[in-house]
Amino acid sequence: MTKPSFLASLPSPASANARGILWMAAAAPCFVGMNIAVRLIGDDLHAFEIAFFRYGFALLLLVPSLVQLRHRQLHTRQPVLHVIRCVIHLAGLILLIQGLRVVPLAEVSALGFTTPLFAALGAILLFGEANRGWRWGALLFGFAGALVIARPGFAELNWGTLALIGWALLFAVSRLISKILLRTDSSMTLVAYFSFILTLLALVPALFVWRWPSAEQFVWLVVLGGFGNAGHLMLARAFKVAEVSAVQAVDFTQLVWAALAGYLLFAESPVVWTWIGGLMIVGAAAYLARRESQLGGGNRSVNRPRS
């Protein structure tokens, strides 16, 4: 049977990079959906309570997989480092939730693209990765993009923008710690400890500010957890089947979805500097990923941790 013309024009399933690009493109609106849910409930529920539900739902969906694993498969040699990573990641998520309350969705997405740049900088300073001129050039170009978005001295630098920069930085630190943990632990071990510890860490402070969500708020919390889990699964799939250098630039579609959602739902119109800065940041991250892939024979590590 002959394929319809529109199906014939799609990338061949045999192309791993093409499939990775499609997975990445599908993940982008999921992460924007998470931010929308936080924006809608962020003024009524405390950030710690939102964080608890975010990771609590993730843990519930993870339970069936954990039950099938043996104890030794979840054993870790570095439990303290897992806790440190989760504390840092939770602090980053709290900053993200605070920033989402006052910063347009498109700008949130654009600033989030700096996470792989901070991670690359940290890898040079902490892990002694090669100090190449092209790497520094890409980092400077990407961070210049962040300055274009923030425009200190030309636009009012509000606390929300500073919180989002802190979010990107802390998530980069979380990624760097995960690289250390992966030297001795499996990826499933990381996911299991990550979800369990974060749920507990968020629950303890949430109990002091607890407010039972209304039916509508609970629906949005479910949406938050659903989009988060779906986005992470699609992201993992993208990096499993394709090289980071092939899919990194597709991450920019998140900015398009964020701008569209911000305009339709919150009457936000991102300024041209957000687009210019976002392109600069994504361009720098994509260039870094491509060069690292050429040097390392194909980099498939997750390049931008999500919430």
Report the predicted TM-score, pTM, of the whole model to 2 decimal places.
0.83
Task: Determine the residue type at 118.
Answer: F
Nearest to 114 by CA among 80, 84, 140, 89: 140
Using one digit for the tens of pLDDT, what is the confidence trace for 194-245? 889 999 999 999 999 999 999 999 999 999 988 988 888 888 788 777 776 6
Higher-confidence residue of 300 and 139: namely 139
Q: How far apart are CA 289 and CA 285, in angstroms?
A: 6
Nearest to 285 by CA among 139, 145, 153: 139
Q: What is the pLDDT of residue 72?
A: 62
For residue 89, is pLDDT > 80? yes
**Averaging pLDDT over each range in 154-168, 207-221, 285-299, which range is the top one?**
207-221
Q: What is the pLDDT of residue 269?
A: 85
* pLDDT confidence band for 289 (50 / 70 / 90): confident
Domain positions in the chain are: 24-296
- Does residue 193 contact residue 181 with C-beta atoms inside 8 Å? no
For residue 304, is pLDDT > 50? no
HSE (CB half, 13 Å, CA atoms) of 218?
A: 5
Using one digit for the tens of pLDDT, what is the confidence trace for 7-57? 444 444 447 778 888 888 898 999 999 999 999 998 889 999 999 999 998
For residue 182, is pLDDT > 50? yes
Average pLDDT rounded to a whole number, residues 134-154: 82
Q: How far apart are CA 294 and CA 304, in angstroms?
A: 19
